[in-house]
Every structure is written in C-alpha cells, then in structure tokens.
Chain A
Amino acid sequence: MSERVNEEKNLPADGTKRAGPQPDGPQPDGTKPDVTSGVTKPGGTSGGAGVKSGSSPVAAAKAEAVLPTLGPMGMLRWAWTQLTSMRTALFLLLMLAVAAVPGSLFPQRPANPSIVTQYIKDNPDYGKILDSLQLYDVYSSAWFSAIYILLFISLIGCVVPRAIAHYKAMRSQPPRTPARLSRLPEYGTLVIPAKAGIPASEAIEDAAALLKKRGYRVDVRDRDGARPSVGAERGFLREVGNLVFHTSLIGVLVSVAIGGLFGYSGQRILVEGDTFVNTLVGYDQFTPGTNFQSSQLQPYSVQLDKFQITFDRESEGKVGQPIDFKADVTTKESPDAPAKKDVLKVNDPLTLGGTSMYLTGNGYAPVVTIRDGAGNVAMQGPVVAKLQGDNYYSSAVIKVPDAKPEQLAFAGFFLPTAFVTDEGVSFSGDPELFNPQLTLNSYYGDLGLDDGAPQNVFELDVKKLTPLNARNLDAGGITLAPGASYTLPDGKGSISFDGVKRYVGVDIHHNPGQLYALIFALLAVAGLVTSLYVNRRRVWVRTGTHDDGRTMVEYGLLARGEDHRLAGEAAAIRRLLAGAWDLEDQGSQSAPSGSADNDRADTSNPGTGTGADTEQDSADHPAADFIQSTAGSSESKKDQ
C-alpha cells in the first residue's frame, strides 16, 4: 500500500512489470488490497470455468464481468476492503473538511449557548430546523462524529496491515536483481580497464561496501559467478514515518477524548483582596468532564493582591486601548503550604495543583456601604460591575437582602470617567478612573431571594419591587462620586460610595489529555517530515568481465514513491564508484545532465532511444545486455 500508484508511471513502459523487480509489498501493483483481487478473481474462475475453451474473448470477458455471488462473509470483507481503501480515506477526508464548515457559519452551543438561544428566537422560520439538524452542535453531532469515526476506523484498517507488511519488508533481503537494469528509471555503465586488475567479484564487493556506507542494506549475489550482482535498498524510514504519522493521529484523538472524560473547567471572579480556593464552592461556574470526581480538586488557593492595567497613550487612534494586564497574586499549593508571590498575565497562565489559571476578563468593582432603615450596615463591599460599552462603561446591580425592615436593591451604571452629552446621555470618556461616577436607581420590596432559587447576580427583576429613586420620579436618580453618600427617601436607608477596586475574571482548567495530545502531535509531525523527505530507493549493480579483460559495470536505480532526487542519487553513486576505481569519469556529465533532481515528468517517458539496441539484440539474454553485447560499442566508449 505504501507503493504509490504513481510509481507505475515511473517505470519504463510495458514489460518492466515482468522483467523488473517485484515490489515486496502485499499489493504488487501499488494500490490497496484491491477489490479486484478479492472479488473478481473468484468470480472470474467460476464464471470462466463455464466458458467453453475456444469461445470468443469477448464472451470470456463478459463472463468474467458477471458479478460473483458473495456470502455474508464475503460482503463483510468487501465492505472492509472498501472502507480501508485509499479512495474511501480521501472521500472521508474531504467530507470531514466540508462537515466542519457549518460550525463556523452558525453559532455553536459549546462556545456560547445564549447566542444560540437568541439566534433561534431571531429566526423563527428556520432556527428550529437547524437545531434538529444539530447545526448548533456541529462538532458533537451524529453526522460529524460518524465521519471522523469512520475515518479513524479506516485509518486503523489501513495502518495495521501496512505495519505488518512493512515489518516483513524490513526483515527481508533486497529484491532480486532485475534481468535488465537498463529498463530502470536510472541506469548507467562504467568500464574498468583491464590493466587496473579489478576482477568482477572484487568490483562487486567494492560496490557493495560503497552502498553500505551510503546507508543501503546490501545483498551480494552470485559473487563468484560470471555476473555477480548486488541488490541494495534504503529508506525504510519513509514508510515508518508514514505509519508513525497516521498512528499518532489516533493518539491525538484519544488524548482529546481523555481530556473530555477526566478534565474539568470553571470560572471565578476575584476582586482585589479576594481569595480563590480550589474546591467546588470556590467556583462561580463549574463544568466537570464526564468522569470527573470532586476528589480530583486540590485545595490550593490564590489571592488577588493587585490588578494593574496599562492603557495605550501614544498610538494614534488607539488611545485608551489596554496594552497590558497584570495581576499580582499570592498563591498557596495547599492550605498550610507557604505563601508565594506570583504574577498572572494574559498569555501567561498560573499552574497550580494540576490546573492552569487564565486571566480572561476584568473590570471595576465600586465599593459601597449600605445602611438600612434601622441604621444598621446591611451590606458593605465591592460590587462587580459588568462591562457594557466602551471605556469600561459598566452596569452595576446591588441586592441587599439583609436590609430591614424592607429589602433594598440598586441598579444602574458605573463610569470610570463620566461625561454627559448635551442631550443628557452619559458616557465614559476614558478607561481610567479620572472621574468615577455611580448612577443608580433604587428599589425596595421582596427580592425573592429567601426561597433559595438561584438568581443572576448581574440582573435585577424589578417587577415585584417598588422604585424609590429613578430619573422619572420626584426623588430623581442617585449620582455618586467616591466619598459621597446619599440618603434614600422615606427613611429607607442610605448608600455611600467608598471607592473603587478592580476585579479579574479567571478561567481554571484541568485537561489531563493535553500533554499526550502534544506528544502525539509532535510525533505526527516527525513522522510526516520523515515520510515526505526520506526516499525509499533500490540500487542494483552488476559486474562482468569482457573478453578483452575489462571489467564491465552496470547499475540501475528505482524509487518507491515520489522521488525527485533519484537522478541526483544515481549521479552520486556513479561518482563514488568511479572514484573507488580511479576511473576518469567524464561520465558525471553523462549522468542526467546537471540535474540533481528530476521529476516524474522527466521519468515518465524513459527508454525513448535509451538502450534501444540492447533491448533488441539481447531479448533472450537480458543479463547479457551491456556486458556482453554493447561493451566496446560506441556507447560504452563514450562512457569510459
């Protein structure tokens, strides 16, 4: 299977298949375990048996074309050969590419479930239909999974037999010397003058040693015969690389699956001063993998000491864009481990207790103190304001369930640098705290928190509440600068804006498959490069003694697979051989002209003219080709 179909084109036209070396793979013709070998043959024999001898060839062909009847096992085998064929692999690959596309066209649930819900709402006519086709969950959809699972089954079905075949090939001897080397894509001759005193047997030993040094595995045949030869082969790593590449892809897939099974991830917002402890309650949001156990969590802790942002003050058009985020943290590996200072930045996660912590968001948290109608402090602390617009224009929601006698709530906006337009619209002019302002409406009533039903902390449902402050009420809205306080109407209490802190959002991930995925990916690349750049080649050299005492040498090269440097290799070997025997070889120019590499294009049509005479006059004694009949001809003279 490793044998390329292309190789056929590489070979000299007809006849080579018979005369040339037989590839030692399981499929001599360079393709998959073909259906033809499994199916047509039995059919051919049974059908052919019925055909009277002497009937017309057309009838025979027709009889052969009749589809054989296959038993259930035969069907299974047929299906398996189909599935593991190169054509199917190609088809599945292209399907995979096409199937991946919709995931970029439609919003995806795993990435953002709320956008999907909104999308379905916005497109009532087809939103639901798309959902039933799993187009919002493309990468876990039945059809996408089917494609890649089939692809990987095909991959396994492809790799295993190939690995076995290659293992055998690596242990066998280089293939026997072809009768006619001149038919190989690269062929050349050398002549050692009689006075050099190098007999054929010695010359073949020299050639073998030389090839061995060049990394070939060699096998000398018929050393003391009239025409000793050496078969040599190298580049087994090519197929090994290919196998490693494909196997590693399976490894990557398995590693990803392991990550999904045993991993987990979660989010947490930390205001300056807050500490995160890695336990289930420490997370604001937690997504366990299928096989997650809470005992997996190591109770390390991370305290956010300070968070700094640098804003761009110099680039044109981008003033105010953040160019650096830096969180100073104090970490503890376990509750009683010593504290350590560390820094968390974008692109630079913290690793602790088998997890990694990433800086994914940030914002301002105005610190407020709220007193209730009784004058007691009902709430004090930072309020995480959610980013809404440019320059940290953020929304703030404050729920005060502890306020008595009535529960209180506030909703409004926080602006780090407040500006108000002529129309009275306020906006933030800068991300930094040049003119911080908190504008709020206030409400009282039952917040509905007492029954324990979970609520979104960033949203306030005002339906059951009574407004106290709002722009359209007599009391107006509340506008506070740091340090200022405001007393609510009707003696409901007061609010003071004490200052501003920053907060960060962090993602915490644990993915046990990730390291393996990386290792397999690296292996895959190594395999890929090896298989693309190692060339598998075969070389044969044959020697013989001419009547006049000269030692005649001929050699031929054959590549398995794409090999544009075969001509270069032929030239190099020629040079080495000539050097070993001290031949004055102007032949280096008789090697394909100056081309260190040639393409299939060039080799696609060899034999035109080359050695035409040898083929004619020595059809019966192919081995005698050069050594016998053409030695001393104009050809070999040119070659000396």
Chain B
Amino acid sequence: MLPINETMGQYSELFMLLAAGTYTVAFIAFAWDLAKSSKTLRAVDLKAAELSGADAARVPVAAGVGESSGAVNRADGDVAGPVGRAERPTSSVAGAAAGNAAGVGQTADGTMRYSAERRAPARVAVALTVLGAAIHAAGVITRAIGSGRVPWGNMYEFLTTGAFVAVAVFLLVLVRRDLRFLGTFVVGLAIIMLVAASVAYWTPVGHLVPALQSYWLIIHVSIAVLSSALFTLTFAMSALQLVQSHRQKTIAAGGADKLGFMRLVPSALSLENLSYRINAIAFVGWTFTLMFGAIWAEKAWGRFWGWDTKEVWTFVIWVVYAGYLHARATRGWTGTRAAWLSIVGYLCVVFNFTIVNQFFNGLHSYSGL
C-alpha cells in the first residue's frame, strides 16, 4: 500500500476547482453558440420567409403563372444542404439531403459530421473544454498519486473521475462527430458533478477499506464509469430526440417553430440512430460491469449474486437497456418509445449512483461518507 501524500491531494483539489472554472467559461461559450446560431438561423429563415412571402404576394398579381420556379418552400428547408447531391450517379443515399427531407426545419447534418460552416463560439467552447479537461485530468492524476491508488474509491472520487470521463468521452466522440450541440449539457453536468463533489462529498485522500482493495475495483468500476459516461450522452440525445420529433411534427403540421435553436440539432431519426449505436456499446460495457461485479462479489463476499440493493439496481439498469435494444427491433416501439426507455435507463443509472449509494444500506455501503 502506497503512502498518502496530502500535498498532492491539495493540488488535486485546486485542479478540480480550476477545471470547474474553465468548464464554466466553456459552458457560457456553448450557450452563446446555441443562442447565436439560432439567431443567425432565424435571420436566414426570416429572409427566406420574406422571399416566399414576396412570392406569395406576387402570385395573385401574376395570376396564372402560379408555380414560380424560385418559390421557396419553407418546409423543404431552404437552408438545406446541396440539392445537387441528388444527382449523383451512385446511389447517394447518404448525406444531408435525406436527413432534410426526413426532418423538416433541419439545419444540422443528419450524419452529424462537421460542415464547412464556421461557428466561432463553438470552437472557443470546444477549445475551452479541452483545456478544462486537461486541468481536470491533472486533478484526477494528482488525486491518484496522493492516495496511492486508482482515484475511484468513494463518492468524491466517483464524481470527480466520473465527470472527467464524461467530458473525455464527449471530446473523443467530437473528433468524429459534430455533437457540439450537446456541449452545454455535458459540460454543465460536469460542472454540477464537480461542485457536488467539492461541496457535499468532499473527502480527503485516504486508503481504501479492505473490501475495496482488489484489482476488480480497477476493472469493474472503470467500466461502470465509462458505460455511464456513454449513457449520459445517449440520455441527452434521447431527450433532444423527443423534443426534436415533437418540433418536427409541429412544423410538418404547419405550426410555428418555437424552438429555433433546435435547428442546430440533427433530426430525430439521426439522433435515434447515433444514440442506438452508443447505447449498444454502453450496454456491452454494462454487461461487463454486471459480470465483473458478480465475480468480485464472489471473491469478496462468497456469493456472486445476492440481490444487494446495488446489485438490484445494476440489474434493473441492465434489463431496461436490454428492453431498449429489443424496442428498437419491435414494431411500434422504435423512435419515441425507445427514446423514453433510454431516458428511463439513464434515470436508473443516476438513481443507482446517488440515492442508492447514500440512503440504501447494503454491502456496497462504502460511499466514503
């Protein structure tokens, strides 16, 4: 057992605070990006509406001319991607065109790839998030050095390390996909977690109780935290999916678009598909969490399954996401219903982490409080 290094522990706390501060600025930048883009988009929109309005005004005058070729059809998404794609010889089913047709009033690319358009505030926000994550990483590492072990042995550490993993996973996904519309959510959550850790769950660096001294702690908890980070992303996407699909319906029915900033968010279907793929990975991770937990329980307590409260909730989460995967293959359960299952699953994850850790007595009661 490595000795405790209090100084490192103090550095770690300082880093955590700095990280939280940086994230806060990043959060503001992300929010600014949403606000600004939605404003720009509205301007484009208004202009388009004006045009079509002019058209509409002209129609009665030029009676009979009717379908003027330049008419801008709002529902078709005048701000759509290149129409030319449809002409490609090879079946061009990919790309934004389809996404646009599917999602009325959509700007964001259905593939969630980066477009050529520059969004300065978003870039600043991502840069700040990267900076925050680097500081945060330093905080996690110094915590590990300070306590001479992996930094996930109590609530404080679950929160600080968990927040880091959530941000890191988000940034990793950002490399390939333009999920910047999730920025406020992920960074906001990280800030909440860091603040909660420092205010409500602060614990100085310390050794682990013998029950936790096992390499299974490293394996089991790290996979659990990783899967939870992925579930966090899909939760946000599923929530947005619900909003977006409601909005799409409203617009398709000719209603007013009250949620302009949702133009930045891809269509409900694209959201559903990407969150399905991430959920599938996270589900495999959660299956491992469950299995390794059982193996560890066998080592520590002599039975691999005993319906301890923590075990119950881990099982419930697993079953809910299994239900989600089934829903995606069941007629009538894709789309909105599946999204709800994904959301319920995540609420269970949060419940398992917060309420169960603190208020339910069980063999797992070593939240460090």
Contacts and interface: CB of A to CB of B under 8 A. Distances in A.
Interface of A: 4-6, 31, 86-87, 89-90, 93-94, 96-97, 100-101, 103-104, 108, 110-111, 138-139, 182, 184-189, 256, 265, 312, 314-318, 321-325, 345-349, 356, 358, 360, 507-509, 511, 514, 517-518, 521-522, 524-525, 528-529, 532, 556, 562, 564, 567, 574, 587, 590-593, 595, 598-611, 635-636, 638-639
Nearest to A7: B329
A225 B341 CA distance: 53
A599 B110 contact: yes
A345 B299 CA distance: 10
Contact of B304 (A87, A104, A188, A514): A514
A145 to B, nearest CB: 14
B192 interface: no
B93 interface: yes
Contact of A595 (B3, B95, B288, B304): B95
A89 to B, nearest CB: 6
Interface in B294-320: 294-296, 298-309, 312-313, 315-316, 319-320
Nearest to B208: A323
Please give me the 9 A-B residue pairs with the lowest Cβ-Cβ distance, nearest first: A609-B86, A315-B206, A592-B94, A606-B93, A187-B91, A599-B273, A346-B210, A601-B270, A598-B94
B209, B307, B323, B329 pick with most chain A CB within 10 angstroms: B329
Given A314-B4, A604-B102, A507 B327 contact: no
Contacts of B312: 100-101, 103-104
Nearest to B348: A97
A2 to B, nearest CB: 9
B207 A323 contact: yes
Given A94-B323, A185-B91, A312-B207, A601 B269 contact: yes
15 contacts: A90-B330, A93-B319, A103-B307, A110-B306, A185-B91, A323-B209, A346-B213, A347-B296, A529-B284, A590-B90, A592-B95, A593-B92, A599-B111, A601-B111, A636-B89
Contacts of B134: none
B91 A104 contact: no
B91, B110, B294 pick with most chain A CB within 10 angstroms: B91
Contacts, number: 245
Contact of A591 (B86, B90, B111, B334): B90
Interface stretch (B55-63, B226-234, B274-282): B274-282
B123 interface: no
B298 A635 contact: no
Given A5-B331, A93-B319, A189 B90 contact: yes
Interface residues of B, number: 85
Nearest to A630: B89
B331 A604 contact: no
A627 to B, nearest CB: 14
Contact of A104 (B87, B313, B332): B313
Interface in B116-156: none
Nearest to A311: B207
B175 interface: no
A608 to B, nearest CB: 6
B267 interface: yes
A317 B204 contact: yes
Contacts of B308: 111
B302 A97 contact: no
A93, A525, A636 pick with most chain B CB within 10 angstroms: A93
Interface of B: 1, 3-4, 6, 85-95, 97-99, 101-102, 110-111, 113, 203-211, 213-214, 216, 266-267, 269-270, 272-274, 276-277, 280, 283-284, 287-288, 291, 294-296, 298-309, 312-313, 315-316, 319-320, 322-323, 326-334, 341, 356, 360
A564 B360 contact: no
B328 A6 contact: yes
B261 to A, nearest CB: 20
A564 B102 CA distance: 17
Contact of B207 (A265, A315, A587): A315
A609 B277 contact: no
Given A100-B315, A324-B1, A316 B273 contact: no
Contact of B88 (A94, A108, A358, A590): A590
Given A6-B329, A256-B305, A639 B90 contact: yes
Nearest to A600: B273
Nearest to B83: A609
A323 B210 contact: yes
B3 A314 contact: yes
Contacts of A101: 312, 316
B292 to A, nearest CB: 10
Contact of B93 (A4, A514, A517, A610): A610
B269 A600 contact: yes
Contacts of A599: 110-111, 269-270, 273-274
Given A97-B320, A517-B304, A592-B92, 4 more contacts: A87-B331, A111-B307, A188-B90, A318-B207
Given A97-B320, A346-B213, A104 B356 contact: yes
Contacts of A256: 305
A411 B299 CA distance: 36
Contacts of B320: 94, 97
Given A315-B205, A564-B273, A610 B88 contact: yes
A602 B99 CA distance: 6
Contacts of B333: 87, 90
A273 B91 CA distance: 81
B98 A97 contact: no
A563 B98 CA distance: 17
B327 A90 contact: yes
Contacts of B211: 346-347
B329 to A, nearest CB: 5
B208 to A, nearest CB: 7
A182 B306 CA distance: 56
A602 B1 contact: no
Contacts of B90: 187-189, 574, 587, 590-592, 639
A603 B110 CA distance: 11
